[in-house]
Amino acid sequence: LCNDAQVRAAQAIGDPMEAALLVLAAKSGFNWEALRERYPRIAEIPFDATHKFMASFHLDGDQVRVFVKGAPDVLIDQCKYWRAREGTAPLDETTRQSLHAANEALAAKGLRVLAAASCRLSANDFDPTGDLLRYLDELRFEGLVGLMDPPRAEAYEAIGLCHRAGIAVKIITGDQKLTAAVIAHELGISGDVISSTELDSLNDSELAQRIDNIGIFARATPEQKVRIVRALKAHNHVVAMTGDGVNDAPALKNADIGIAMGITGTDVTKEAATMVLTDDNFATIVRAVEEGRSIYDNIVKFVRFQLSTNIGAILTVFTAPFLGLPLPFSPIQLLWVNIIMDGPPAMALGVDPSRPSVMDEPPRATDERILTLRRLGNLAAYGATMMVGTLGILLWSLQTRTEQQALTLAFTTFVLFQVFNAFNARADIGSAFNRTFFRNYVLWLALAGVVGMQLLVVYWPPAQGAFNTTALTMTDWGLAALVASSVLILEELRKVLQRMFQRH
């Protein structure tokens, strides 16, 4: 009766915990629908995080029957009587301690424990519009019920992935301290366990000092959730907060990313949130983090590829006259490189699959630039390699070939540099030769297209006239590919040496 859920055709409507209680009642032989008709509800005290229980008042002839369910640690201390085997008996201190011990025994199994209590009132003395809390002075303790609410199977792996990715997972729950600690241990979440009472005893400064060491917050109130979020933000953490109830809305609003549950979440919570989780699954949040990191990675890949090409072209064109060499590229050839040759591979890098190590790295700083000094140094090195390779092959071939042949070979070498450089752009940190090497079919298609179009420019007579090129031999192509591959080989060698120095 003290329950707002419904069960229709094996489908739970409302709070899952309340629905589980209806199923328990039905299995015990109670027809809860008939009982609701027989004892109509005339008033109620909704569950509140402050008093931690729900009470409903039902008319029964000339009496009002009161049913209460809520936190065991609250109701056990609030009751005056208990249901003994021989009937109603005063709740003495010894029995009270026994009930607390029974509650702790259930909580130690990771069960969500609820206490039930009741009392009877005279209908003539009852005022449904008055202060309903005053009618709860003569409560009789009825019993405890333990509900199993295990985490989803995928949550274990998701939390492990968070730990690898440098993401701290904290539990803020309405469960009692012991239950929360057991579930957290199951999930691999470490840290201190703190109750709402203990949290109240800490001022904001003390909470901020301890916040990184606390893993579980039990019986947290809406105000305390906001304090927790603010304390984490004070430590420069980016805070993502999940919630489903109206009471979670203030904390979601204060978090950097407020995440509302799409299935169980209230409209108020969804309005306050930054995003809505349609399947109510924590693992989906972790997948979203991985996807977000991959998108950021791909933006970096795009920028690195485009800039390194431009740096290489600028250095090559700028340096050639100082070496007494003809300009290696005509204006139309530069346009060809920047628009046709670079465009498809750069776009293909935007759909590159996640790196194997994308979730093995700590979160980046919110103020981190895409072009860090390290990345700019790498881009300058790629550009310098392209310049040296292109001008070197131009200088060498001018001694053995006509100028048009030498310029065509230099132009082709620079185009092939972009093919190999695309693999450098894919791997900012680890080796380019990882398990995703062959997985981006779009990139391979784009690179094949680049080589195919360059073949047209070199061998198709109308294109030869437009681009001022001439046919190359197979030896020329092999030489161009060998020189162009140096940009990838040197970068892989640098990464190997860097890993060796880091180990020592």
Note the pLDDT of residue 479: 96
Which residues are registered as beta bridge partners of 69?
54, 116
Note the pLDDT of residue 264: 84
Q: pLDDT tens for residues 389-400?
A: 999 999 999 998
Decide if 100 contacts 73 (C-beta within 8 A).
Answer: yes
CATH class of 292-503: mainly alpha
Which tokens belong to 425?
């752009």
Indicate the average pLDDT of the chain.
Answer: 92
Mean pLDDT over 281-303 rounds to 93
Q: pLDDT tens for residues 32-87?
A: 999 999 999 999 999 887 888 999 999 999 999 999 999 999 999 999 999 998 89
Note the pLDDT of residue 272: 94
Q: pLDDT tens for residues 428-479?
A: 877 888 888 888 999 999 999 999 999 999 999 999 999 999 999 999 999 9
Mean pLDDT over 167-178 rounds to 91
> How far is residue 88's CA from residue 186's CA, in Å, rounded to a whole number?
39
Q: pLDDT tens for residues 322-349?
A: 999 999 999 999 999 988 888 899 999 9
Note the pLDDT of residue 198: 93
Decide if 113 contacts 179 (C-beta within 8 A).
Answer: yes
Note the pLDDT of residue 172: 93
pLDDT of 503 over the 80 cut: no
Note the pLDDT of residue 15: 84
Q: pLDDT tens for residues 181-210?
A: 999 999 999 999 999 989 999 999 999 999
pLDDT of 498 over the 70 cut: yes
CATH class of 155-284: alpha beta
Note the pLDDT of residue 392: 96
Note the pLDDT of residue 287: 93
Burial class (CB in 10 A: 0-12, 13-18, 19+), 251: buried
pLDDT of 386 over the 90 cut: yes
Which tokens belong to 177?
């301290």
Which tokens belong to 18?
């309340």
Note the pLDDT of residue 487: 94
> How far is residue 212's CA from residue 166's CA, in Å, rounded to a whole number?
13
Reduced to 3 states (helix: H, G, I; strand: E, B; else coil), residue 218 is strand
Note the pLDDT of residue 428: 80
Note the pLDDT of residue 504: 67
Residues near 225 by beta carbon (within 8 Å), at least 6 away in sequence: 172, 217, 241, 243, 247, 248, 250, 251
Of the chain, the percentage scoring pLDDT greater than 90 comes to: 75
**Tokens 């589980």 sit at which residue?**
20
In CATH terms, the fold of domain 6-147 is: Calcium-transporting ATPase, cytoplasmic domain N (3.40.1110)
Amino acid identity, position 235: H
pTM: 0.79
Long-range interactions of 197-201: CB distance < 8 A, separation 24+: 199/224, 199/227, 199/228, 200/224
Note the pLDDT of residue 318: 95
Amino acid identity, position 437: F
Query: At 314, is the pLDDT very low, low, confident or very high (cuts 50, 70, 90)?
Result: very high
Note the pLDDT of residue 340: 81
pLDDT of 9 over the 80 cut: no
Domain positions in the chain are 6-147, 155-284, 292-503
Query: At 239, is the pLDDT very low, low, confident or very high (cuts 50, 70, 90)?
Result: very high
Q: pLDDT tens for residues 219-233?
A: 888 899 999 999 999
Q: pLDDT tens for residues 98-137?
A: 999 999 999 999 999 999 999 999 999 999 999 999 999 9
Which tokens belong to 383?
């550009």
**Range in 31-40, 184-193, 282-291, 493-502 the model is least confident about:** 493-502
Decide if 376 contacts 305 (C-beta within 8 A).
Answer: no
Note the pLDDT of residue 175: 86
Which tokens belong to 180?
């929360």
How is 419-472 classified by DSSP, letter by letter?
Answer: HHHHHHHH-SSS-SSSTTTTT-HHHHHHHHHHHHHHHHHHH-HHHHHHHT----
* Edge-to-edge strand ranges of the sheet holding 214-218: 171-173, 214-218, 192-195
* Edge-to-edge strand ranges of the sheet holding 240-243: 240-243, 257-261, 275-277
Q: Name which of 408, 383, 387, 416 is nearest 466 in CA terms.
A: 408
Q: pLDDT tens for residues 14-25?
A: 888 999 999 999
> How far is residue 385's CA from residue 486's CA, in Å, rounded to a whole number?
8
